[in-house]
Amino acid sequence: MESAAPSPFVEVPEAEWVCGNGLCFAIYDSYPVSPGHVLVITRRVVPTFFECTAAEQGALMELVGEVKALLDERLDPRPDGYNVGFNAGAAAGQTVPHVLTAVENGGAGRSKTTALGGVDISSFVGVSRPL
């Protein structure tokens, strides 16, 4: 997957991060499908999860766990489930060639018409469409 434009995620200031580690950071989605919808993104612009280093893959999953713990603390009502996932490649619905993992509240307050598998998780840039 080639990128004609720079990733919009590299412009997000650190002050807006939910949390981060040496290889990744997390931000609230600008167009959430549920309360607490967070995107975990690599600092290095990498097209898909499968092109990440093993360290980057591990760092993504480490932050997914940290985001889940933060959402458990901050959301009321506390989520009774989560959807976690990514789209890898244009054929899978990925629109921004920069890997991210979405963490979505799969329980209380979630839109019943927009589950993780039913929308493009790169909605950060305002593109959300059924697959």
Supply the pTM of this predicted model: 0.80
**CA quadruple 70, 75, 77, 79: dihedral positive or negative?**
negative
Per-residue pLDDT tens for 33-52? 899 999 999 999 999 999 99
d(CA 52, CA 60) in angstroms, rounded, equals: 10
> Cβ distance 33 to 111 under 8 Å?
yes
Q: In this structure, what token pair is assigned to residue 80?
A: 């009774």
Per-residue pLDDT tens for 51-60? 999 999 999 9
Residue 12 has pLDDT above 60, yes or no: yes
Where does 8-125 sit in CATH, by number? 3.30.428.10
Contacts of residue 26, Cβ cutoff 8 Å, sequence gap at least 6? 17, 18, 19, 20, 38, 39, 40, 41, 63, 66, 67, 103
Distance of CA 61 to the CA centre of its chain: 11
d(CA 15, CA 104) in angstroms, rounded, equals: 21
Q: Where are the domains of the chain?
A: 8-125
